[in-house]
């Protein structure tokens, strides 16, 4: 995900609880301003 050109984050939750678009943009944008579970994990993954 960190190397993707564009991300579409679906949520909140999974399965029947998910399915709404909660973010679209670049990985850098998601790290900088995203407040989703995906953003938090990606932030931890790319942190120096």
pLDDT band at 18 (very low <50, low <70, confident <90, very high): confident
User: Are 18 and 32 contacting, i.e. CB atoms less than 8 angstroms apart?
Assistant: no
> Is the pLDDT reported for residue 13 higher than 90?
no
Give 11-25 as a DSSP string: ESSSGGG--EEEEEE
Residue 41: which domain range?
Answer: 7-46
> Is the pLDDT reported for residue 34 higher than 80?
yes
Residue 36 is assigned to a structural domain of this protein:
yes
Residue 21 is assigned to a structural domain of this protein:
yes
Rg (CA), the chain: 11
Alpha-carbon distance 24 to 47, whole Å? Answer: 21
- The total domain count for the chain is 1
> Is the pLDDT reported for residue 48 higher than 80?
no
Q: What is the reported pLDDT for 47?
A: 84
């Amino acid at each position: 995900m960190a190397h993707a050109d564009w991300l579409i984050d679906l949520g909140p939750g999974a399965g029947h609880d998910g399915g709404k678009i909660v973010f679209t943009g670049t990985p850098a944008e998601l790290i900088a301003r995203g407040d989703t579970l995906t953003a938090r994990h990606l932030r931890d993954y790319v942190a120096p």
